[in-house]
């Protein structure tokens, strides 16, 4: 009610073009532009006539001091399935809803690092954390978005498998590093390299939930089968739960093959498959080139709409059980 009264007092047109958070005592109203055609607060329509404004207002209590944070590991052994694109845009969308988000780039190709920070020089990175046992706070860098932080990667981590080959507890280094900062973030999003080495295993061990993007191609279908098998081996060998929060389709070109692959994936993963399908959208590629998220680069694009819808589906699943 606090939020409804507050919103009614405001001239809606003044908040429509804005992104951000409107604090109302201990309730926060998150304003996401470009996604929904109706305004709902606590389930009741407030501004259905504002269709052109395309906004969604979300009301929730801020998760301050939460004992639990979700650590998403975005993984797939196959390269080019949109792991990095999803990590960047999902993190940004979560941060934009007022959540405090830490992105961890575990891929020595450093694509997530580049997309969120551009070229990086003389900064501490995940290398210092995993190899030299530096506290993770030392390698955490704020991005230009206020709720979004990143632990960047660096090319020298590509030798991690060799460097950690005989190190004791090497699979648990990231998990241990995250322990002291656990209560500071609402979400941690880990991007992974396209192979199952020590870096991906660290990400899987540290996570609370696995998110699997896949492209709608025949090879991707084979790859997802291999990934499932690998995850089962990890569960057995390292005594991990590794719960799959969901799988989602990316790079949809609306072809017959795409449709058939999606059908096969749905038969295999059933209700784990998110409804949202991310279309192929050149703006997503261009956004990387501009070192921005799709929401900053082209917020009204199909790619932005799809990633916001996916984020909301993920949040529903997190909040209402898996």
Provide the binding-site residues for ligand ADP, judged by CB under 6 A.
79-85, 111, 194, 250-251, 278, 280-282, 284-285, 288, 303
Provide, rounded to whole angstroms, the least separation between the CB of residue 80 and ligand ADP.
4
Among 32, 76, 84, 97, binds Mg ion (CB under 5 A): 84
228 by Cβ neighbours in 10 Å (0-12 / 13-18 / 19+) ranks as middle
**285 touches which of ligand ADP, Mg ion, none (CB within 5 to 8 A by kind)?**
ligand ADP
d(CA 312, CA 319): 10
Tokens of 228: 């499932």
Q: Of 102-131, which residues contact Mg ion (CB under 5 A)?
A: 111
Asked if residue 116 lies in contact with residue 213, where contact means CB atoms within 8 angstroms, the answer is: no
Question: Measured from the CB atom, is 186 or 209 closer to ligand ADP?
Answer: 209
**20 touches which of Mg ion, ligand ADP, none (CB within 5 to 8 A by kind)?**
none
Q: CB 197: neighbour CB atoms within 10 A?
A: 17
Provide, rounded to whole angstroms, the least separation between the CB of residue 311 and ligand ADP.
15
**234 touches which of Mg ion, ligand ADP, none (CB within 5 to 8 A by kind)?**
none
Beta carbons within 8 Å of 131's beta carbon, 6+ residues apart: 157, 160, 163, 164
Among 83, 145, 272, 288, binds Mg ion (CB under 5 A): 83
Task: Name the CA dihedral angle for 297, 299, 304, 308, rounded to a multiple of 10 degrees.
Answer: 130
Provide, rounded to whole angstroms, the least separation between the CB of residue 76 and Mg ion.
9
Using left for φ > 0, alpha for ψ between -120 and 50, and beta otherwise, residue 211 falls in beta
Q: Where does this chain bind Mg ion (CB under 5 A)?
A: 83-84, 111
């Amino acid at each position: 009610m606090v939020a409804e009264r507050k919103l009614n007092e405001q001239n809606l047109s003044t908040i429509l073009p804005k992104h951000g958070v409107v604090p109302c005592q201990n309730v926060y109203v998150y304003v996401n532009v470009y996604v929904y055609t109706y305004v709902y607060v606590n389930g009741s329509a407030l501004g259905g006539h504002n269709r052109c404004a395309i906004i969604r207002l979300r009301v929730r209590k801020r998760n301050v001091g939460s004992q639990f944070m979700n650590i998403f590991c975005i993984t797939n052994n196959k390269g080019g399935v949109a792991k990095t694109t999803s990590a960047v845009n999902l993190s940004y969308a979560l941060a934009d809803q007022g959540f405090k988000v830490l992105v961890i780039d575990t891929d020595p190709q450093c694509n997530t690092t580049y997309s969120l920070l551009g070229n990086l020089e003389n900064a501490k990175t995940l290398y210092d954390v995993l190899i030299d046992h530096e506290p993770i706070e030392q390698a955490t860098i704020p991005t230009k978005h206020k709720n979004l932080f990143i632990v960047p990667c660096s090319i020298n981590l590509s030798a991690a498998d060799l460097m950690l080959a005989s190190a004791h507890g090497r699979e648990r280094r990231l998990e241990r590093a995250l322990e002291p900062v656990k209560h500071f973030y609402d979400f941690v999003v880990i991007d992974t390299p396209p192979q199952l080495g020590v870096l991906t295993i660290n990400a899987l061990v540290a996570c609370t939930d696995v998110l699997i993007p896949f492209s709608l191609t025949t090879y991707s279908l084979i790859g997802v089968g291999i990934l499932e098998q690998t995850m089962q081996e990890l569960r057995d060998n390292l005594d991990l739960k590794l719960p799959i929060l969901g799988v989602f389709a990316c790079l949809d070109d609306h072809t017959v093959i795409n449709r058939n692959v999606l059908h096969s994936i749905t038969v295999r993963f059933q209700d784990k498959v998110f409804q949202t399908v991310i279309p192929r959208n050149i703006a997503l590629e261009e956004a990387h080139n501009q070192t921005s998220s799709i929401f900053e680069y082209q917020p009204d694009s199909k790619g932005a709409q799809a990633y916001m819808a996916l984020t909301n589906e993920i949040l529903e699943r997190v909040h209402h059980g898996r």
